Each structure stands twice: as C-alpha cells, then as structure tokens.
Chains A and B, each alone.
Chain A
Amino acid sequence: MFFYTIKRLAIAVPTFIAVLLITFTLTVISPFDPVAMMMTQFEGTLDTLAKEEVIERIRDQYGLNDSYWVQFTRWLGRLMQGDLGISINGQRNVLRMIVKTFPISFQLGLAGAVVTTILGIPLGCIAALRQNTWLDYTIVGGTLGFRTVPVFVLAPLLLVLFVLVLDIMRVPRGWDGLFQSKVILPVFILALGPLPVVVRQTRAAVLEVFSMDYVRTAKMKGLHMWRIILRHILRNALIPVVTTLGFIAEGLIVGSIFLDSIFAIPGFGGVAEAGFRGFDYPVIMGVTMVSAVMIILTNLIVDLIYPFLDPRIKIE
C-alpha cells in the first residue's frame, strides 16, 4: 500500500507541475501587457511625462523584464509560500480572493455532488432493471440531454420558467448559507451536469452484476427483488461509480463559473469569471491551478480508495 501511494503521488505531482508550466508559459507567450492594462485605469491621473518611467518601474517591480526561467522559478517559489500574486483589476490578493470564496463554492459543490449521487444511482438502477424499454431510453437520453445544455443556458431558462411563467419562487439571489431555499435551484442546476455520467456508470455496473452467478443464486433462494438489489447488486455496482468522482468535480467547477454571477453567489466561479472577463492574469492562473489541484486530488483519492473497495485490484 505504501509503495502504491508513493507511485500514485509520483504520477500526480509531475502532472501538476506540468499544468503549472503550461499555465505559466501561456501567460508569458502572450505579449499582452498587464502593466499597460493597469495604466488605462489611471488614465489622465498620471503626469504624461513621468508615465514611461512609472511603467518601467512597475515592470521592474513585477519582475516582468526578467527571462522566462527566472520568472518561472521565482513564480514557483512564491507559489510554495502561498503567494498567488495581486490581481490586476482592484489590486487584491488572489489567494485571499480564492480562500474567501472557496468555502461557499465547496459547500455548493458538495451539495451538488450529493444530489447527483442521490438522483443518479436510483435512476441508473431503474434504467438497468428496465433495460431497453422506453423508461431506460428516457432516463439515459434525458439526463444526457441536460448535460449537453450548458449552465448559462439552463439557468436563465429555468429562472424564466419558475419565476415568470409558473411563478412558484422568488428570484434566488445571493448566499446566506447552505440551508436556504434559494440554493435549491443553483444546486439542482449544478447537479444536472455530472448526472448522466453517474447514471450511465451505475446502469452499466448494475447490468454487469445482474448476470453474475451469485445474483442468480440469490434469486433461486427466493429472496425478494429489493433485497437482492440492495444486498448484492448495489454493493458491487457502486464501486465503479466511485471512478466518476473526477468527472463530478470537473462538472461542478465549470458549472460554478457560470452559476455564480447569474445567482449573485460570491463563490470561486465568480472570481474565475471576473478574471476572464477582465483579462486578469494572476486571477486566471490562480483559478486554473486551484481547479487542476482539485481534479488531480480527486483522482488521486479515487485511485487510493479504489483498492479498498475492490480487493481484486492488485496493489503493486
């Protein structure tokens, strides 16, 4: 187990470093000048004569005149100390921006993951037990349909439907903690994204387990159907569903980018969206790295707990 963990880590760490390298290289490649962008905000307030000097000083201060590797290693060093830089728009500490908003998004994401699981596993079971009937097609096709429709399409359409047409709710805006009725719609929309992955995985797993000898034995013993499902099928079918956790994490992160501004939730996704809209490199880099860490970590956790769930997986 120890060597297995080391091996997994040995894969995860270089992957993350490669992600860092890609992120950093991309921002260096672009001749886009953050200082010039910053200057436009102070247009008119600066003495035109001193402007070039000020720009040069800021460039030095940010180390933008150094070579690529110097910049990269310095950036990496700062990263180790938890310094993600200062945002260009508004001069705020990027790490603090993320740390402040992350818990909100994490709660929402967790709620979304729970809803996905609660909806997805029964739906997948039903689809498998009614294989190749209209019910199966509806569940698989319907959930797939929702996945392909992006959040920024689904959210306004559902808002129009629920608030304007059906008039059954007030406009859900803001964040007052997880246990408020206004988080229902955002969480539901978040949960729909990764839902088809869970449904399909559960469905396939149940179908596979269904043909096993021990299920036939249980049937022959005259056990009740629901008991067979709970005791024998679900237990074994749920193992492969764990592998979808990475997809779920990615779906939740991407979903929150669009969701936060629509529902005025002060979350991680909102920081990302503002970063992209404002071409705010430190923010974009910070957000990309944190997302990559989340996904790599999730996959690592899946890899590490999988041998416990399925002892047939041999640990080398």
Chain B
Amino acid sequence: MSESTEKLSNGSLGEQLAGESALRTRSLWKDAVGRLLRNRLSIIGLIITLFLLISALFGPYIAPYSYTEQDLLNVAKMPSPDHWLGTDEIGRDLFSRVLWGARTATLVAIFTTFISVIIGVIIGAIAGYGGALADNITGRIIDIVMSVPGLLLAALIAVSIKEPVVTWAENIYDASGFPLFADTTWLDLLVVFGGLAFVSWPGYARLIRGQIFSLREEQYIEAAKSVGVSELKIALRHLLPNAIGPVIVTLTFSFSSAMVLESSLSYLGIGVQPPQASWGNMIASNIGSWSYRPWLVAVPALTLAIVTLGINFLGDGLNDALNPRSKRSI
C-alpha cells in the first residue's frame, strides 16, 4: 500500500497507471485463490500435489527402508504389516521405493520446467520483440523441434549426451576431487533434464510470443505507450502481470508432463537407472510379471497415474481461477 501511494504521489500519469495496476493485481490474486478453492476437483489436485511435494522432501525420512535394502527372506511378497505395499522381485520394500521415486520425479519435473521456462521465455521474447525476421527464424526452429515426437527426441538426446556428460563429470572429479562428482547417480538426472528441457521449451516460447502479440493490441498498453511509458516498463509492469496467469497454468501442466516423460525415459531404460528408484523403471522391471505379481506393476503405475491426474486437476482449476473470462474454453 505504501509503495503504491508513493507511486501515486510521484506525478506522471504513466506511473499512476502502473501503481493502479499493482493494486488491482493483488485483488486479482485474492479472487483467483477464492475461485480455486471453490472448485472441488482442484482441491483434490492441490492435496495430491502437496502430498507429492511432502513425499519428495521428506520421503527418505518417512520411508521405513532404504531404496536398495533387500529383505531376502521376503522376496516378491504381497503387502504385509512389515512391508506395507509388499516387496519387489529382489526383496526391496515397495513403499519405500515409491517414496524415493517421488523425489526423483519431482526433482526432474522442477528442474526441467525451470530450464525450459527460461529458454522458452527468452526465445518467446526474441520472437515477440525482435521483429519479423527473428519471429520467422524462431518459428521455424520451433516447428523443427515439434515435428519429432517429444519422447523420441528426448530419448535420442538423452542417449547421445549420456557418455559426454559422464566423461565430463569424471574429468572434473579427477581435476578437483570435488566429492559431488564422484557420485554418478545425479548424472542420470542431468541427462534426463537436458533431453526433457530441449523438447519442452517450444511450448513456452509459443505461449510467450502469443501473449506478447495479443496483449500488445490491448488498449491499456496503447494508453501506457501514448503517455510515454518506456517499452521495458510496459513489458515489466503491464505485459508480465497479464501474461503470468497463462504461464502458471502451463507450468502446472508441463510439470506433470515432465514427470510422465521422465518415467517414460526411465521405462525405456534411458533415464534413471536402477537401483535408483523411478516409477518408470519400477514399472519396466516388473511389467513382464504383471499377471502373477500384479501389485509390483500396479503400485508404481497407480502412483504415477494419481499424481499426474492430481496435478492436471490443479492445472485445470488454476486455468479457471486465473483466466475467469475464458472459462473452460481451449
């Protein structure tokens, strides 16, 4: 409040308009939260997402066993009081592994989303502000990336950069002795981030470009321009707050699709390698025995299904909450 009063006393009309919009934004957010909490499905989604984040953060402390610990007397057992969700084909506790898998999935999703948003925003801004030629070139690049199925391209990239990344890490370890580089498990994750980020940025780039082009036509932007507000200020004060709604919605959806892609790669044996727990490789290593040990496949599969559904419910709810005008249209 004090910030905006200061802005108002500052004089120029453009500044005043900017201050007004800051005030309105805050009430819009309050509105959005209200709308989100009124929607039952998005509440369910919110709860599932919170559960996921808690298991990702504290899973290893909650988990009764480690993800590698084998109970050789209880191999491939049905759920029991000792092992809540049973044990897998080499006697590891399934519940613990699902919790560790939550950490893998969340880590990959957060990093991938983060990297691809940054790339997407930069390329989108270049397309939106760089003139017709830049728009054309970025458009072509996006078309090219999108003409290969995302999973295939991500898999191809992951397969190709795996060796270079591992040698690179080994070299750093040899040179510096930094203990972080001795462990190769997170390198699998790094490879997956690379592959996934490369295939997921075009969505953001298109979104940002579209937002820039469509918001430019709005009257308030025109008004801001006519009173002499600078381009940069318009971008930060007017474009950004108005574009952030769709971006948050896309973030949510791509969070779940990054999770699905990670488990797909791990399922194909390219992503996270056993014994590291990923829901994808857990499904893959047990899919052959689905007919006589169904719980080994069903537990990670159901977890992945519930989590992606929950996040998408949340995304749908956010879409309705943040873009109240375009209720449930595409």
Binding site for B on A (CB under 8 A): 11, 14-16, 18-19, 22-23, 26-27, 29-32, 131-132, 136-137, 140-141, 144-145, 148-150, 152-154, 156-157, 159-160, 163-164, 171, 200-201, 204, 207, 250, 253-254, 257-258, 262, 272-273, 276-277, 279, 284, 287-288, 291-292, 295-296, 299
- Residues from chain B with a CB closer than 8 A to the CB of A157 are 297-298, 301-302, 305
Q: Which B270-293 residues have a C-beta within 8 angstroms of A?
A: 270, 280, 283-284, 287, 290-291
**Bound complex: CA of A272 vs CA of B270, how far in Å?**
13
Interface size on B, residues (CB 8 A): 52
Q: Which of B162, B257, B330 contacts A30 (CB 8 A)?
A: B162
Q: What is the distance, in angstroms, from A248's C-beta to the closest C-beta of chain B?
A: 12
Q: Is B33 an interface residue (CB 8 A)?
A: no
Is the beta-carbon distance between A149 and B309 smaller than 8 angstroms?
A: yes
Can you show 13 pairs from A to B with CB atoms below 8 A apart?
A: A27-B156, A30-B162, A131-B328, A137-B328, A141-B316, A144-B312, A148-B257, A153-B304, A154-B305, A156-B287, A253-B149, A254-B151, A292-B147
**Bound complex: CA of A196 vs CA of B157, how far in Å?**
28
Q: Is B66 an interface residue (CB 8 A)?
A: no
**Bound complex: CA of A305 vs CA of B289, how far in Å?**
47
Q: Is B113 an interface residue (CB 8 A)?
A: no
Q: Which of A31, A149, A250, A295 contacts B305 (CB 8 A)?
A: A149
Is the beta-carbon distance between B152 and A287 smaller than 8 angstroms?
A: yes
Q: Is B41 an interface residue (CB 8 A)?
A: yes
- Residues from chain A with a CB closer than 8 A to the CB of B231 are none
A-side interface mostly: helix
Q: Smallest CB-CB separation from B148: which chain A residue? A: A292
Is the beta-carbon distance between B291 and A19 smaller than 8 angstroms?
A: no
Is the beta-carbon distance between B147 and A258 smaller than 8 angstroms?
A: no
Is the beta-carbon distance between B305 and A296 smaller than 8 angstroms?
A: no
Is the beta-carbon distance between A32 and B160 smaller than 8 angstroms?
A: yes
Is the beta-carbon distance between A291 and B163 smaller than 8 angstroms?
A: no
Interface centre among A156, A284, A292 (most CB of B within 10 A): A156
Q: Is B327 an interface residue (CB 8 A)?
A: yes
Is the beta-carbon distance between A141 and B160 smaller than 8 angstroms?
A: no
Is the beta-carbon distance between A152 and B144 smaller than 8 angstroms?
A: no
Q: Is B27 an interface residue (CB 8 A)?
A: no
**Bound complex: CA of A156 vs CA of B294, how far in Å?**
8
Is the beta-carbon distance between A152 and B264 smaller than 8 angstroms?
A: yes
Q: Is B111 an interface residue (CB 8 A)?
A: no
Q: Given A19-B148, A152-B283: A29 and B263 within 8 A (CB)?
A: no
* Nearest 7 Cβ contacts at the A-B interface: A26-B160, A30-B160, A153-B301, A148-B308, A18-B144, A156-B297, A160-B294
- Residues from chain A with a CB closer than 8 A to the CB of B157 are 26
8 extra interface residue pairs, beta carbon distance < 8 Å, beyond A148-B308, A250-B149, A272-B152: A27-B156, A29-B164, A150-B260, A150-B264, A154-B305, A284-B159, A291-B148, A295-B148
Q: Which of A23, A163, A292, A296 contacts B291 (CB 8 A)?
A: A163
Q: Is B55 an interface residue (CB 8 A)?
A: no
**Bound complex: CA of A149 vs CA of B270, how far in Å?**
20
Per-residue interface assignment for chain B, residues 311 to 325, with 1 indicating a CB less than 8 Å from any chain A CB and 0 otherwise: 011001000000000
Q: Smallest CB-CB separation from B296: which chain A residue? A: A156
Is the beta-carbon distance between A27 and B140 smaller than 8 angstroms?
A: no
Is the beta-carbon distance between A299 and B147 smaller than 8 angstroms?
A: yes
**Bound complex: CA of A272 vs CA of B263, how far in Å?**
17
- Residues from chain B with a CB closer than 8 A to the CB of A250 are 149-150
- Residues from chain A with a CB closer than 8 A to the CB of B256 are 148
Is the beta-carbon distance between A26 and B156 smaller than 8 angstroms?
A: yes
Q: Smallest CB-CB separation from A12: which chain B residue? A: B147
Q: Given A150-B260, A153-B283, A287-B152: A31 and B164 within 8 A (CB)?
A: yes
**Bound complex: CA of A11 vs CA of B136, how far in Å?**
12
**Bound complex: CA of A66 vs CA of B39, how far in Å?**
62
Q: Is B230 an interface residue (CB 8 A)?
A: no
Q: Smallest CB-CB separation from B295: which chain A residue? A: A160
**Bound complex: CA of A63 vs CA of B157, how far in Å?**
22
Is the beta-carbon distance between B330 and A19 smaller than 8 angstroms?
A: no
Q: Which of B150, B152, B291, B304 contacts A150 (CB 8 A)?
A: B304
Is the beta-carbon distance between A23 and B156 smaller than 8 angstroms?
A: yes
Q: Which B166-197 residues have a C-beta within 8 angstroms of A?
A: 167
**Bound complex: CA of A184 vs CA of B293, how far in Å?**
24
Q: What is the distance, in angstroms, from B224's C-beta to the closest C-beta of chain A?
A: 32
Interface centre among A26, A200, A276 (most CB of B within 10 A): A276
**Bound complex: CA of A3 vs CA of B208, how far in Å?**
32
